[in-house]
Amino acid sequence: MNLYQELHARGLVSQCTDENIQERLAKPVGVYCGFDPTADSLHVGSLVPIMGLAHLQRAGHKPYILVGGATGLVGDPSGKTEARQMLTREIIEANGVAIAKQIGRLVRFDDNDGDTDTGAVLVNNIDWFADASWIDMLREVGSRVSVNRMLSMESVKGRMTGEGDGITYLEFSYMLMQAYDFAWLFKHHNCTLQVGGQDQWGNIVMGIDLGRRLHQGSLAGLTFPLVTKSDGGKFGKSEQGNIWLDPARTSPYDFYQFWRNTADSDVGKYLGYFTFMELDEIKRLGAMEGVAANEAKEVLAFEVTKLVHGEAEADAACDSARKAFSGAADVTGDAIPNGPLPELPAGLLSLMVSANLAKSNGEARRLVQGGGVRIHDDKVADPKREVTADDVKDGYLLLRAGKKKMFRFDA
């Protein structure tokens, strides 16, 4: 199986501009993917292009990781209904350093700036945009890009026809900057392939066209799917918000639990996207149902946590989760109290009192309002919340008060 077939079998191929992509990938190429440093951490959705880069690197290709120090100052309108918050150059620079470290956990950067056959190279487009004059960019780039073509892009059409104030000229210029990135990387590093999420398709196509017009480059683009959940919910979100790659934002334990709580129908797909496991093993685990699916979920959670946070953190998160969910012991080593599941729906506060997690409804309410109560791993913000049968997972309901107090109701 060649690399393209491997990526396709894992579900990592959405679209490709080159009908002969298998021939293109038969020999080493320079491949680039851009990340705009709009925050000091990437979230789990960014793992798809990172994994794609890692597969390409393992197959002998050379990754160029572009941190958008310049494009981050503009903001990509793709997938957005309104303009992004404007950030300072200092914040953008610090964010770029932070996310490069996160990418480096999965894609290898060499000590000598990646100057080897497959060692990744970190580049920042502020280096070629900072000193470029506006008139020079208009003459070199603007003269070769059709406004009609730009208006046909989904990222622009959505902003012009939807609600809100439309799209600013600043954001409209984003696709020109990204297109120029590809042309610049081709000229200076012979980079001939750009990869990214499916929402970047239009920007990638424009870069291919500009590289051809400016430098007669034979360029190609490959996009990865945007991750979805089978139930229609948004991937990468929990009740606490985004699931981040930075352990200071999302702890390794909460990161592990996010994957451990994957729906049965999504396990096989996520194993293909987010691990390097053999396809036969992915197929075996993905076919598991019911109680047996818990094994597949544990494998998924462990493998992804190991990739992002290291094996030691993955082992610790797995051990803590097994103690809690088995009912054998919590993270302190004490037995978790348990009892039969009452009739549902039931008020959260009364359940907490019956589980001895609070002495009264008033104390339980204060715990909820203070952010210290969770159902399984999801924080509860509403004291009036009712607990329903939908909250029961794998035959039990786990209530948490603070970091150490738990009670398990068994169905």
Convert the pLDDT of each residue in 62-95 to its tens digit: 999 999 888 887 766 555 545 556 678 888 888 9
Q: Which domains does the chain have, with CATH numbers?
A: 3-224 (3.40.50.620), 228-326 (1.10.240.10), 328-411 (3.10.290.10)
- Residue 112: pLDDT band by 50, 70, 90 thresholds? low
Convert the pLDDT of each residue in 19-32 to its tens digit: 999 999 999 999 99
Does position 329 have pLDDT exceeding 50, yes or no? no
| pLDDT recorded at residue 142 | 82
Does position 5 have pLDDT exceeding 80, yes or no? yes
Q: Which of these, 188, 227, 223, lies nearest to 18 by C-alpha position?
A: 223
CA torsion 33-37-40-44 (nearest 10°) is: -40
Q: 32: which 2 tokens?
A: 């680039």
- Of 88-102, 183-197, 290-304, 315-329, the range with the highest mean pLDDT is 183-197
| pLDDT recorded at residue 164 | 60
| pLDDT recorded at residue 65 | 95
- Residue 328: pLDDT band by 50, 70, 90 thresholds? very low
Convert the pLDDT of each residue in 141-170 to its tens digit: 888 888 877 777 776 777 777 666 677 777
User: CA 305, CA 228: separation in Å to the nearest integer?
Assistant: 20
**Omega cis (within 30) before 383:** no
| pLDDT recorded at residue 162 | 62
